[in-house]
Amino acid sequence: MPSLPTLSGLPGLAVLRAMGRERSLLAGLAAMRQHLGNAFQITLPGFNPVVFVGPESNRHILVSGREDFLWRTESDPVTALLRHGLLVEDGASHDCLRGLMEPPLQRGPVNGHIAAFWNCTAAITDGWADGSTQDMLVEMRKVALLILMETLFAVDFRPDLERLWQPILRSIEFISPGVWLVWPGAPRASHKKELDELDAYLYGIIRDRRAAYAESGQLGDDLLSVLVGHAEMDDDLIRDQLLTMLIAGHDTSTALLAWALYLLGEHPDALAQAQAEARATLSDQLPTPEALKELTFLDTVIKETLRLYPPIHVGNRRAADEIEVKGYPVHKDNRVMYSIYLSHRDPAHWDAPDDFCPARFDRSQTKNSPPAFAYLPFGGGPRNCIGAAFAQVEAKAVLGKILRDFDLKLLPGRVHEHMGATL
Ligand code: HEM
């Protein structure tokens, strides 16, 4: 069996140049794919992940060969932070948590949150003065945090937003790619104080919900109540799920909303069309699920944003055994990545892959859709995104409201892709 291609010599320099030019590790990965093809291995001291791109290997890793891949890596900061959260569990423990947490995130309950999506957006955008400048990455994080806490935990987060802003950012920074990838034991700035503060808050809302339950004998149908109502979930295990949902459920939406506004700002025609649609479709009343469905152009903008800037740009796994992927050997415990970002820009499946073109998702205009697993912003198979329905309805409601209420203009300046916990 041939070994996976690696970089050396002149192509290696070209990759370094691309990374320097774009100030982005992603540019390096894109350059590697260009030189080595859709399967390759990164060979840095201490960091040797194998990277796969394209529908065939995506399907293999996520569906047909999924038993060969594990999520949990004890030495990763994400495991240290989330402990036994859904995202870092494998096997029966994962499936059991997933079964418990799925119902509040299905389409029906999500449609019931449209009022909260709308009102939490208003809580932030009501503070935008006419003619003011807003940093959309910051503002969209505020919106996404209020929404997540109110809908999934039934908690009003407004009084705590400012106090917990830094602890939340620090927890995201803690799990973002960094020196720890190549040097797992590297000394790191301490995040303990902020993480303890966030934990104190999460244990506090669990305690309050248990007390309210003991007093009234009643629980709501939000996720926190579902977890509290389950006899086998102790406070530590509930805290792990809350922190998982808090991070996975808001940092991703923040990125999607901010990138969508950026792309609209860069494309004034698309902005005008999205605005006209929002103004014609959304009245002064709270939108119904049907009204949001009518925002068909905005829907294509959201899909195209997720293609160009997928918030989770790569899926990480660990080989459970000595295995074979696409005819290449992969050794037990090797880190395996399926690249969502590169799959979404693969010229074999996308015309003008780097261009913003919402029409490619308009079924009335395009006949040839790319094959399954060429487009996978929410992953795929049994470990696909548990919040996919939530995120899509949320994005439509938040962007629809902003577009209906404001005229937006992008300030000049360079925006570049940053590989944090999300893109
Ligand atoms: C635009 C928004 C979002 C995007 C692009 C996104 C993307 C993804 C992707 C690609 C995966 C699979 C990762 C893998 O295969 O390793 C995933 C998993 C996950 N997502 Fe999302 N996500 C989004 C929003 C959300 C929301 C709103 C929530 C919670 C309310 C959430 C919670 C999770 C969790 C818990 C998992 C792990 C599921 C499991 O392992 O069973 N995500 N997400």
Give 14-69 pLDDT, tens digit per residue. 777 777 777 777 888 998 999 999 999 998 777 889 999 999 999 999 999 999 99
Task: Please say if the pLDDT value at position 187 is more than 70.
Answer: no
Residues 93-102: what's their mean pLDDT? Answer: 97
3-class DSSP assignment, residue 324: strand
Please tell me which of 2-6, 20-24, 27-31, 389-393 the model is most confident about, judged by mean pLDDT.
Answer: 389-393
pLDDT band at residue 109 under the 50/70/90 scheme? very high
Residues 95-106: what's their mean pLDDT? Answer: 97
Distance 230 CA to ligand 1 centre (A): 23
pLDDT band at residue 183 under the 50/70/90 scheme? low
Residue bearing tokens 């050997």:
329
Task: Give the dihedral sign, CA 351/354/357/360.
Answer: positive
Q: Are strands 335-339 and 50-52 parallel, antiparallel or unpaired?
A: parallel
Using a 6 Å cutoff on CB, does residue 253 contact ligand 1? yes
Residue 290, φ and ψ in degrees, nearest 5? -65, -40
Residue 338, strand partner residues: 52, 315
Using a 6 Å cutoff on CB, does residue 82 contact ligand 1? no
Question: From CA 248, how far away is CA 87, in angstroms rounded?
Answer: 9
Residues 65-90: what's their mean pLDDT? Answer: 95
Distance 245 CA to ligand 1 centre (A): 9
Which of 409, 351, 381, 395 lies closest to 68 in space, CA to CA?
A: 381
Question: From CA 35, how far away is CA 30, in angstroms rounded?
Answer: 9
**Atom number, ligand 1, closest to the C-alpha of residue 71:** 16
Determine the pLDDT at residue 192: 86
Domain boundaries 38-405, CATH class: mainly alpha
Residues 114/105, Cβ–Cβ less than 8 Å: no
Distance 383 CA to ligand 1 centre (A): 9
Which of 72, 68, 110 lies closest to 94 in space, CA to CA?
A: 72
**Atom number, ligand 1, closest to the C-alpha of residue 390:** 27
Which of 125, 168, 163, 166 lies closest to 143 in space, CA to CA?
A: 125
Best mutation site among 90, 224, 252, 375 for ligand 1, i.e. most ligand atoms within 8 A of its Cβ? 252
Question: From CA 299, how far away is CA 227, in angstroms rounded?
Answer: 33
Using a 6 Å cutoff on CB, does residue 256 contact ligand 1? yes
**Atom number, ligand 1, closest to the C-alpha of residue 384:** 12
Poorest-pLDDT segment among 277-281, 322-326, 402-406, 417-421: 417-421
Question: From CA 198, how far away is CA 168, in angstroms rounded?
Answer: 7
Q: Using alpha carbons only, give the angle 72, 73, 75 rounded to the nearest 5 degrees.
A: 145
Residues 6+ apart with CB under 8 A from 286: 114, 115, 118
Nearest CA to ligand 1 atom 36: 385
- What is the C-alpha R_g of the chain? 22
Active-site annotation, residues: 252, 378, 385
Determine the pLDDT at residue 330: 96
3-class DSSP assignment, residue 330: strand
Determine the pLDDT at residue 7: 82
Determine the pLDDT at residue 21: 77
Nearest CA to ligand 1 atom 14: 315
More confident residue, 259 or 418: 259
Residues 356/105, Cβ–Cβ less than 8 Å: no
Residues 211/132, Cβ–Cβ less than 8 Å: no
Question: From CA 202, how far away is CA 21, in angstroms rounded?
Answer: 42
What percentage of the chain exceeds 90 in pLDDT?
82
Task: Please say if the pLDDT value at position 9 is more than 70.
Answer: no
Using a 6 Å cutoff on CB, does residue 385 contact ligand 1? yes
Residue 339, φ and ψ in degrees, nearest 5? -90, 110
What six digits make up the tokens of 247? Answer: 């991070």
Nearest CA to ligand 1 atom 39: 383
C-alpha distance from residue 381 to each of 58, 62, 309, 314, 365 (Å)? 10, 5, 21, 15, 28
pLDDT band at residue 278 under the 50/70/90 scheme? very high
Using a 6 Å cutoff on CB, does residue 387 contact ligand 1? yes
Best mutation site among 385, 390, 394 for ligand 1, i.e. most ligand atoms within 8 A of its Cβ? 385
Residues 178-183: what's their mean pLDDT? Answer: 67
Q: What is the pTM of this model?
A: 0.96
End-to-end CA distance of the chain: 35
